[in-house]
Amino acid sequence: PWFLYRWLSLVWTRLAGLTALLLAAFAPHMISLSAQARGYTLAFLAICACLYFQERAIRESSPRWMALSGAALCVGIVTEYFVAFFACAVALAFLLRAWQQPLPRPLWLTWAAVQACGVGLYGFLFVTQILPMLSTSMGQAEQEAWLHSTFPWPGDNLFLFLYAGVIKQFQWLFASNLLGLLMRLPFLAGLWFLWRGPSRSEQLASRLVIARAT
Protein backbone atom coordinates (compact mmCIF):
# COMPACT_ATOMS: atom_id res chain seq x y z
CA PRO A 1 0.00 0.00 0.00
CA TRP A 2 2.86 2.42 0.65
CA PHE A 3 4.22 2.10 -2.90
CA LEU A 4 0.69 2.43 -4.27
CA TYR A 5 0.27 5.64 -2.28
CA ARG A 6 3.59 7.08 -3.48
CA TRP A 7 2.86 6.25 -7.14
CA LEU A 8 -0.63 7.72 -7.22
CA SER A 9 0.57 10.79 -5.32
CA LEU A 10 3.04 11.37 -8.13
CA VAL A 11 0.75 10.78 -11.11
CA TRP A 12 -2.45 12.21 -9.66
CA THR A 13 -2.98 13.68 -6.17
CA ARG A 14 -2.08 12.85 -2.59
CA LEU A 15 -5.78 12.36 -1.83
CA ALA A 16 -6.03 9.73 -4.58
CA GLY A 17 -2.95 8.02 -3.19
CA LEU A 18 -4.31 8.04 0.35
CA THR A 19 -7.65 6.63 -0.81
CA ALA A 20 -5.91 3.77 -2.63
CA LEU A 21 -3.68 3.14 0.39
CA LEU A 22 -6.69 2.80 2.69
CA LEU A 23 -8.53 0.50 0.26
CA ALA A 24 -5.50 -1.76 -0.14
CA ALA A 25 -4.60 -1.77 3.55
CA PHE A 26 -8.06 -2.66 4.83
CA ALA A 27 -9.36 -4.90 2.02
CA PRO A 28 -10.36 -8.17 3.75
CA HIS A 29 -8.72 -10.50 1.23
CA MET A 30 -5.52 -8.46 1.15
CA ILE A 31 -5.24 -8.79 4.93
CA SER A 32 -5.78 -12.56 4.79
CA LEU A 33 -3.32 -13.01 1.92
CA SER A 34 -0.64 -11.00 3.73
CA ALA A 35 -0.85 -13.51 6.58
CA GLN A 36 -0.18 -16.47 4.28
CA ALA A 37 2.96 -17.76 2.63
CA ARG A 38 1.68 -17.17 -0.90
CA GLY A 39 2.95 -15.20 -3.88
CA TYR A 40 0.11 -12.75 -4.38
CA THR A 41 1.25 -10.24 -1.76
CA LEU A 42 4.80 -10.23 -3.11
CA ALA A 43 3.48 -9.85 -6.66
CA PHE A 44 1.35 -6.84 -5.68
CA LEU A 45 4.34 -5.31 -3.92
CA ALA A 46 6.49 -5.80 -7.03
CA ILE A 47 3.83 -4.25 -9.30
CA CYS A 48 3.37 -1.15 -7.14
CA ALA A 49 7.12 -0.70 -6.67
CA CYS A 50 7.66 -1.03 -10.44
CA LEU A 51 5.09 1.69 -11.14
CA TYR A 52 6.59 4.06 -8.57
CA PHE A 53 10.19 3.52 -9.66
CA GLN A 54 9.31 3.92 -13.35
CA GLU A 55 7.48 7.17 -12.70
CA ARG A 56 10.49 8.51 -10.80
CA ALA A 57 12.76 7.37 -13.65
CA ILE A 58 10.72 9.25 -16.26
CA ARG A 59 10.33 12.40 -14.19
CA GLU A 60 14.01 12.55 -13.25
CA SER A 61 15.45 10.97 -16.44
CA SER A 62 17.20 8.52 -14.14
CA PRO A 63 18.53 5.15 -15.40
CA ARG A 64 19.03 4.15 -11.75
CA TRP A 65 15.34 4.44 -10.98
CA MET A 66 14.55 2.58 -14.22
CA ALA A 67 16.88 -0.25 -13.19
CA LEU A 68 15.06 -0.48 -9.84
CA SER A 69 11.76 -0.58 -11.72
CA GLY A 70 13.10 -3.42 -13.84
CA ALA A 71 14.28 -5.33 -10.78
CA ALA A 72 10.82 -5.01 -9.23
CA LEU A 73 9.24 -6.19 -12.48
CA CYS A 74 11.49 -9.25 -12.62
CA VAL A 75 10.58 -10.12 -9.03
CA GLY A 76 6.93 -9.97 -10.03
CA ILE A 77 7.50 -12.10 -13.14
CA VAL A 78 9.03 -14.97 -11.18
CA THR A 79 6.37 -14.70 -8.47
CA GLU A 80 3.00 -15.00 -10.24
CA TYR A 81 2.00 -15.62 -13.85
CA PHE A 82 -0.70 -12.92 -13.87
CA VAL A 83 2.08 -10.30 -13.78
CA ALA A 84 2.39 -10.91 -17.55
CA PHE A 85 -0.69 -8.70 -18.06
CA PHE A 86 0.92 -5.95 -16.01
CA ALA A 87 4.26 -6.29 -17.83
CA CYS A 88 2.57 -5.62 -21.17
CA ALA A 89 0.56 -2.69 -19.80
CA VAL A 90 3.50 -0.97 -18.11
CA ALA A 91 5.64 -1.31 -21.26
CA LEU A 92 2.90 0.25 -23.38
CA ALA A 93 2.46 3.05 -20.84
CA PHE A 94 6.19 3.82 -21.00
CA LEU A 95 6.12 4.02 -24.80
CA LEU A 96 3.16 6.40 -24.70
CA ARG A 97 4.91 8.58 -22.15
CA ALA A 98 8.05 8.57 -24.26
CA TRP A 99 6.00 9.67 -27.26
CA GLN A 100 4.68 12.59 -25.23
CA GLN A 101 7.96 13.45 -23.50
CA PRO A 102 11.36 12.91 -25.20
CA LEU A 103 13.63 10.83 -22.97
CA PRO A 104 17.45 10.65 -22.85
CA ARG A 105 19.27 7.78 -24.51
CA PRO A 106 20.63 6.21 -21.26
CA LEU A 107 17.07 5.88 -19.98
CA TRP A 108 15.97 4.21 -23.23
CA LEU A 109 18.88 1.77 -23.08
CA THR A 110 18.11 0.84 -19.48
CA TRP A 111 14.44 0.34 -20.31
CA ALA A 112 15.35 -1.83 -23.32
CA ALA A 113 17.62 -3.94 -21.11
CA VAL A 114 14.77 -4.38 -18.64
CA GLN A 115 12.42 -5.53 -21.41
CA ALA A 116 15.04 -7.98 -22.68
CA CYS A 117 15.39 -9.45 -19.18
CA GLY A 118 11.61 -9.77 -18.90
CA VAL A 119 11.31 -11.51 -22.26
CA GLY A 120 14.17 -13.82 -21.34
CA LEU A 121 12.52 -14.74 -18.04
CA TYR A 122 9.22 -15.50 -19.74
CA GLY A 123 10.98 -17.59 -22.36
CA PHE A 124 12.71 -19.57 -19.62
CA LEU A 125 9.44 -20.05 -17.70
CA PHE A 126 7.61 -21.09 -20.86
CA VAL A 127 10.14 -23.80 -21.68
CA THR A 128 10.68 -25.08 -18.14
CA GLN A 129 7.16 -24.78 -16.69
CA ILE A 130 4.37 -24.01 -19.17
CA LEU A 131 5.23 -26.57 -21.86
CA PRO A 132 5.67 -29.45 -19.39
CA MET A 133 2.40 -28.51 -17.66
CA LEU A 134 0.46 -28.37 -20.92
CA SER A 135 1.70 -31.82 -21.88
CA THR A 136 0.13 -33.45 -18.81
CA SER A 137 -3.47 -34.46 -18.32
CA MET A 138 -3.61 -32.40 -15.10
CA GLY A 139 -2.47 -29.27 -16.95
CA GLN A 140 -5.12 -29.76 -19.61
CA ALA A 141 -7.78 -30.30 -16.93
CA GLU A 142 -6.78 -27.01 -15.28
CA GLN A 143 -7.23 -25.19 -18.59
CA GLU A 144 -10.73 -26.58 -18.98
CA ALA A 145 -11.71 -25.93 -15.34
CA TRP A 146 -10.73 -22.95 -13.20
CA LEU A 147 -8.29 -21.41 -15.69
CA HIS A 148 -10.89 -21.30 -18.47
CA SER A 149 -12.60 -18.16 -17.16
CA THR A 150 -9.29 -16.36 -16.61
CA PHE A 151 -8.53 -15.79 -20.29
CA PRO A 152 -10.68 -14.79 -23.30
CA TRP A 153 -11.36 -17.60 -25.74
CA PRO A 154 -12.20 -17.52 -29.47
CA GLY A 155 -15.72 -16.22 -29.92
CA ASP A 156 -15.82 -14.35 -26.59
CA ASN A 157 -16.75 -10.66 -26.56
CA LEU A 158 -13.56 -8.96 -25.36
CA PHE A 159 -15.38 -5.92 -23.95
CA LEU A 160 -17.75 -8.07 -21.91
CA PHE A 161 -14.84 -10.22 -20.74
CA LEU A 162 -12.94 -7.16 -19.48
CA TYR A 163 -16.06 -5.68 -17.88
CA ALA A 164 -16.85 -8.92 -16.03
CA GLY A 165 -13.22 -9.12 -14.92
CA VAL A 166 -13.39 -5.64 -13.39
CA ILE A 167 -16.56 -6.56 -11.48
CA LYS A 168 -14.88 -9.71 -10.17
CA GLN A 169 -11.92 -7.63 -8.99
CA PHE A 170 -14.21 -5.33 -7.01
CA GLN A 171 -16.07 -8.31 -5.55
CA TRP A 172 -12.75 -9.79 -4.48
CA LEU A 173 -11.39 -6.49 -3.11
CA PHE A 174 -14.43 -5.77 -0.94
CA ALA A 175 -15.20 -9.45 -0.17
CA SER A 176 -18.80 -8.80 -1.16
CA ASN A 177 -20.71 -9.54 -4.35
CA LEU A 178 -23.12 -6.68 -3.64
CA LEU A 179 -20.40 -4.09 -3.02
CA GLY A 180 -18.56 -5.32 -6.10
CA LEU A 181 -21.62 -4.59 -8.23
CA LEU A 182 -22.27 -1.21 -6.58
CA MET A 183 -18.68 -0.10 -7.19
CA ARG A 184 -19.38 -0.07 -10.93
CA LEU A 185 -20.85 3.43 -10.68
CA PRO A 186 -17.95 5.25 -8.95
CA PHE A 187 -15.52 3.22 -11.09
CA LEU A 188 -17.12 4.34 -14.36
CA ALA A 189 -17.42 7.91 -13.07
CA GLY A 190 -13.74 7.89 -12.12
CA LEU A 191 -12.75 6.62 -15.57
CA TRP A 192 -14.77 9.41 -17.16
CA PHE A 193 -13.12 12.14 -15.07
CA LEU A 194 -9.67 10.67 -15.69
CA TRP A 195 -10.32 10.38 -19.42
CA ARG A 196 -11.28 14.05 -19.63
CA GLY A 197 -8.21 15.08 -17.63
CA PRO A 198 -7.79 18.22 -15.53
CA SER A 199 -6.78 20.13 -18.68
CA ARG A 200 -6.19 19.40 -22.35
CA SER A 201 -2.43 19.39 -21.90
CA GLU A 202 -2.68 16.75 -19.16
CA GLN A 203 -5.17 14.45 -20.85
CA LEU A 204 -2.58 11.91 -22.00
CA ALA A 205 -1.11 11.62 -18.50
CA SER A 206 -4.60 11.09 -17.08
CA ARG A 207 -5.38 8.40 -19.64
CA LEU A 208 -2.13 6.66 -18.86
CA VAL A 209 -3.26 6.44 -15.24
CA ILE A 210 -6.29 4.52 -16.51
CA ALA A 211 -4.11 2.17 -18.58
CA ARG A 212 -1.75 1.34 -15.72
CA ALA A 213 -4.36 1.20 -12.96
CA THR A 214 -6.73 -1.14 -14.79
- Give tens-digit pLDDT for 8-49: 898 888 988 898 899 888 888 878 877 877 788 899 899 999
For residue 60, what pLDDT band results from cuts at 50, 70 and 90?
very high
Question: Contact 50/93 with Cβ under 8 angstroms?
Answer: no
User: What global pTM score does this model have?
Assistant: 0.76
What count of residues does the chain have?
214
203 pLDDT band, cuts 50/70/90, is low
What pLDDT shows up at residue 78?
93
Q: Please, what's the b/e burial string for 69-89 (b: 16 or more CB within 10 A of its CB; e: otherwise)?
A: bbbbbbbbbbbbbebeebbeb
Q: By C-alpha distance, which of 47, 43, 23 is closest to 190?
A: 23
Residue 65 or residue 145, greater confidence? 65
Q: Which residues, including other chains, have CB under 8 Å from residue 175's CB and lie 6 or more apart?
A: 27, 28, 29
Statement: residue 213 has pLDDT above 60: no
